[in-house]
Amino acid sequence: MIPAAEPLAPPVRARRRMLVAGLAVAAGQPLARAQMRIDVAGVGATQYPISIARFPVEGRVPVDVAAVVRADLARSGAFRLIDTAAALSETGSPDFGDLRGKGADAVAGGSVTRLADGRYDIRFRLHDVIRANPLGGEAFVASEADLRYAGHRIADWIHEKLTGERGIFATRIVFVSRSAGRYRLDVADWDGEN
């Protein structure tokens, strides 16, 4: 014998009625369409305006070192490049008024000279445009095969000087490639070149 169901207690009936009434009201409402807003902050939100002037070259130079520096800093997202048509040597003094007018806070210039032994003497200096004073620079010698690497080193130096964080531009990437059933270990610059 199956026992008869007991009648529901009054509070349970009241809850059930409120639930049914709430569902009926909700079913009659139009669907809400939420709008999403995303604010991006961080890298790229506040970029440091910098100008990388053309490096005057002496002799045949197969790699535009200044272009490597520009590309590295632009890809980092931390810098906004300000175009300057003029070249600026590592010993020259920039036109700070003109650069301020163009919106640059810093400018780097340098030179590349081919040496008698086939290597290259690379020099550069970084200047604070706002305070109109030099921030430093470096000089080093590189082989033709290392000209791109020299540009990456310069970009690392500038990045660290202006942001306080070490740059990653001289980083090398090692990967395995497979061709015709053979595996090969390859090394490339961080930007995929070389």
Tens digit of each residue's pLDDT (9 = 90 or more) over 14-54: 777 777 777 777 776 666 555 656 555 555 568 999 999 98
CA 47 and chain centroid, separation: 9
- Specify the CATH architecture of the domain 48-188: 3-Layer(aba) Sandwich (3.40)
Site of tokens 């207690």: 9
Would strands 57-58 and 106-114 be described as parallel, antiparallel, or unpaired?
parallel
Q: Is 157 helix (H, G, I), strand (E, B) or coil?
A: helix
State which of 2-11, 79-88, 134-143 shows the largest mean pLDDT.
134-143
Residue 172: pLDDT band (50, 70, 90) is confident
The structure's pTM equals 0.72
* Distant-in-sequence, close-in-space partners of 42: CB < 8 Å, separation ≥ 6: none
Domain boundaries, the chain: 48-188
Kind and range of the H or E run holding 160? helix 147-163
Residue 151 has pLDDT above 70, yes or no: yes
Helix (H, G, I), strand (E, B) or coil at 80: strand
Confidence of residue 177 (pLDDT cuts 50, 70, 90): confident
- pLDDT, tens only, 80-126: 999 876 657 566 688 888 899 999 999 999 999 999 999 999 999 99
185 — pLDDT class (breaks 50, 70, 90)? confident
Q: Are 158 and 69 in contact (CB under 8 A)?
A: yes
What's the full length of the chain, in residues? 194
The pLDDT confidence band at residue 147, using thresholds 50, 70 and 90, is: very high
Query: Helix crossing, 147-163 with 65-76: angle to 10°?
Result: 40
- Amino acid of residue 12: V
Considering the chain, what percentage of its residues have pLDDT values greater than 70?
Answer: 78
How far apart, in whole angstroms, are the C-alpha atoms of residue 190 and residue 173?
A: 6
Q: What share of the chain in percent tops pLDDT 90?
A: 51
Backbone angles phi, psi at 42, to 5 degrees: 115, -145
| pLDDT for 87 | 59
